[in-house]
Every structure is written in C-alpha cells, then in structure tokens.
Amino acid sequence: MAVRWFYLSFYALWFLGLMSIILTIYWMQLWHGGFAWDGTVLMFNYHPVLMVVGLVVLYSAASLLYRLPQSWTGPKLPWKIGHAALHLLAFVLTVLGLVAVFQLHRRSKITNLYSLHSWLGIVTVFLFACQWFLGFVVFLLPWASVWLRSLLKPIHLFFGVIILSLSIASVISGINEKLFFSLNNATQPYSSLPGEAIFANSLGMLVVVFGLLVLYILLVSSWKRPEPGILTEGQPLLRDGE
C-alpha cells in the first residue's frame, strides 16, 4: 500500500505539473498573441511560462529526486549530480524568465521591481541562487567534512521548502497581477469573470494543488532517503516495491 500510494502521488504530481505548463502556454498563446524574443509584449509572454517551468515544476523535480526509491541504494553521487543539474537548469530558465520581463520594461520605460509580485519573485530567485551555491560547495564538492554537512543539511532542507513556497506565491501573485493589467481596460473587467479570468484563476489553483502535493511528498518521513542503517516504518515497503 505504501509503495502504491507513493507512485500514485508521484504520477498525479507530474500530471499536474505538465498541465500547469501546457495551460500557461495556452493562456499566453490564446489571449496574449503568442511568443517572440524581440523586446515587445510578446517577449514578456515567455516570463510566466519560464517561471512555471523553472521555478515551480523543474525546481520540484530536483527537490523530489531523493524521494525516488531507486535513489536509496547504491552510490549517492549520481543522484547528487542529477539533483544539482536539475536545479541549475531550473535556475537558468528562471533567469531567462527575468530577462524577458526586464527587457520589456527597459524598452517600454517601465519601472522594475515596484510590485509585491516582483519583490516576492526577486527574493525567491536570490534565495534560489544562494541555495544552489551552498548545495554545490558543501554537498557536491568533496572538501566539506561530515560534521559540516550534518550541520548545514537541515538548513538546506528548510530553505528548499521555503523557496518552493515562495515560488508558488510568486506565480500566484503574478497570475493575479497579469489579469489586473490585461483586464483593467477591457470591455469585460476582471470582476465580471470573463473567460480569461476563469481560465487563469483555474491555472493558479492548479499550481497551488501542485505545490501542496510536492510539499506533502517532501514531508512524508517514510518517503525520505533513509540515513545509513536507519529505516522508518514505511521504507522497507517502498524498497520491496521497486
């Protein structure tokens, strides 16, 4: 039952993540004219897509890598490299998402970093960069002592959850801000719940459910990679189900 519930949660999670990406692309394509890397408003449309892909879905994938039962046996280094590489890819896509919006603001002479959404987002990206650097230097490179890694591991895990939570908050506030801007002067205002508002609000709820499921999987103790010689009650069941 434990292994079945784990994989059910896992596959449901990636279905939600894939749907979040597809619906974000569809939103930008259908209601906002598609994509072009040309400094116009079409370039901005990459911003929500890249943030959902990088800051939410790929970040979550990297965070959950150690929850796979396959990672519990054998050398840990390949999983560490995969964890770091996925996070790095997520970070690169996130930075490209920032470039898209900053380029539009520069060409349109719009002030940067004035809204709550932008403050949340830039703090999240800053913490993400610090988290990746700390993980690379302390946990991937071989110089750090076992004592230092043991000391910093709970901090690393804590900020991993914090960054994911901030990522979800940034995406939700970004969806809301985009709707306020795009529907502000429309014939059907946001308050009348036109089709775009219903669609984007639903997308936001989907991202929230995705984030909550990621946090659930991260926090279930029996689905964590066991420490050497230590197993919680559910972990032998997961191993048997490989």
pLDDT (tens digit per residue) in 51-107: 999 999 999 999 999 888 888 888 889 999 999 999 999 999 999 999 999 999 999
* Average pLDDT for the chain: 91
- Cα–Cα distance between 207 and 137 in angstroms, integer? 31
132-183 pLDDT tens trace: 999 999 999 988 999 999 999 999 999 999 999 999 999 999 999 999 999 9
Measured in residues, the chain has a length of: 242
List of long-range contacts for 65-73, beta carbons under 8 Å, 24+ apart: 66/224, 66/225, 67/6, 67/10, 67/217, 67/218, 67/223, 67/224, 67/225, 69/3, 69/6, 69/238, 69/239, 69/241, 69/242, 70/242, 71/225, 72/225, 72/226, 72/235, 72/238, 72/239, 73/239
Which domains are present in the chain? 1-223 (1.20.120.1770)
Task: Look up the pTM and report it.
Answer: 0.91
Which 3 state secondary structure label does DSSP give 147? helix
Q: Which helix (H) or strand (E) holds 57?
A: none
> Residue 229: what pLDDT?
53
Query: Does 232 have pLDDT greater than 90?
Result: no
∠ CA 122-126-131, nearest 5°, is 145
Query: Does 187 have pLDDT greater than 80?
Result: no
